Structure 1
């Protein structure tokens, strides 16, 4: 698995040559647009709202199944990565199931993105009600535009979309497949992310700005981490060093386990050696001998 940044094919001197700058500009432009024109969010959500019924898409079995798949697919990837790491620690002399940088890259991406940025920082700070909770769509809360701070809504917050962020973090998988499949996989993962975002809007769970800005932020993070782990000169040796470190750590764990087992066996043996003395009758006293 090799992460390849194809910036060399981009025309020199253009923004496309610097993908992180491009992602940042797109995210900032989207943010400025939705802050300046908040009615766009309401207009898009109105397409999926039916008076007296709310958002009917929430009752469609196919859409709920698709949402479940979007939740379990990233979870399955996380479980597979954890299993690969555990197997390496159990069998330290064997090669890792996945390259260590691959595991480290996606672990960092999911922890710093959906976990920290979305659920740890943005959702607690930006108290934006979900579409289904605002007055325009049968709720009781007032509409809040994107990036709004300082409100008093402390329930189920909308900005930004966690599910859209998680699915967007899957798109970099396309850069780890063979080159002949890369464009196809990238398009499929991008389509999957777009359909997930549309699904969340149809459910009345997020506004258009929630999913687009979440995707932009995750794109920025994935590109930055990609440069950190794969784009800098000399990082090719990182896999070898990480593999050696995991091997050494696995052997240390096995040595610690053996020492712990030895201590337990020594303690049990010592107790068993004392047990015959404990079972002997107590010596009789002088008064008892006279009797």
Structure 2
């Protein structure tokens, strides 16, 4: 049974990602108490969300903020460096690097932070009257005016944590399974830590994962159909090298003019 489900997910990943969004949405609309119960596990009337006072969760929060941003900067730096040092192509496949950059922009960037967190207005747990705040609790997909910016629905840090799973595409095939489990564990810890801090409800986390995965799968499928990971991969590498050669030539010409 388990093997059959895994095979089905591998054959139709976009379908199952869409189903995950629908099923999770239905679950938390039918049983909103799941959000409250999960957050209550980390809350006390005297200490609030008490894990915020401990060293390890605080450091984990900082890691969750730093690591995805540093990764994006490194990927951008690699793509730019490839223009000047073509031999760097031996390190990582350029189509995978471009996919990761585009998926970060479209998923965590545009959908999560640009659309949902900006417009849905869901108060964070710590902002609700159930956990010491002033606003009432609102359910998933319910637009409110409680929070004005950087709101609870859905989680940006969980979205970026899930996005990190895509880094397995940069690794040799033999390393991907173990690395995938390691990244999944890190994603889970970073994401669930936000519940412990009162920053997000469980539904914010799970729907953030599902939505980010949905965007990444759509983008990957489009790039795959365009041949980016197949017959056109070498062509893309060569075009990037040609653009780098042209850029270096123009910069050299500009430098000669400036010296004169």
Alignment check: 8 A CA contact 1:16 1:22 kept? no
Structure of higher CA gyration radius: 1
2:197 counterpart of 1:198: no
Paired with 1:88 and 1:204, the residues of 2 have a C-alpha distance of 42
2:155 counterpart of 1:161: yes
Aligned equivalent of 1:56 = 50
Q: Under a length normalisation based on structure 2, what TM-score does the superposition of the two structures give?
A: 0.89
Change (3 A) 1:14 1:167: closer
Alignment check: 8 A CA contact 1:74 1:166 kept? yes
Paired with 2:229 and 2:169, the residues of 1 have a C-alpha distance of 17
2:104 counterpart of 1:110: yes
Q: Under a length normalisation based on structure 1, what TM-score does the superposition of the two structures give?
A: 0.80
Task: Select 1:147's aligned residue among 141, 147, 152.
Answer: 141
Which digits, 9 at most, give the CA deviation of each residue in 1:111-162, with x for residues without a partner?
1111111111111111001000110001111111111114343144101000
Map 1:191-230 → 2, pairs under 5 A:
191-230=185-224
Change (3 A) 1:15 1:76: closer
Which digits, 9 at most, give the CA deviation of each residue in 1:224-283, with x for residues without a partner?
2222334666841322122122112112212222332343344xxxxxxxxxxxxxxxxx
- Structure 1 spans left out of the alignment, 5+ residues: 1-8, 267-291
Quote the RMSD (CA, aligned, Å): 2.4
2:81 counterpart of 1:120: no
Paired with 1:17 and 1:244, the residues of 2 have a C-alpha distance of 31
Aligned equivalent of 1:28 = 22
Task: Select 2:73's aligned residue among 79, 99, 103.
Answer: 79
Change (3 A) 1:262 1:98: same
Paired with 1:178 and 1:90, the residues of 2 have a C-alpha distance of 24
Alignment check: 8 A CA contact 1:129 1:156 kept? no
The aligned length equals: 257
Stretch of structure 1 that moved more, 35-44 or 75-84: 75-84
Paired with 2:172 and 2:158, the residues of 1 have a C-alpha distance of 26
- Structure 2 spans left out of the alignment, 5+ residues: none
Paired with 1:152 and 1:62, the residues of 2 have a C-alpha distance of 31
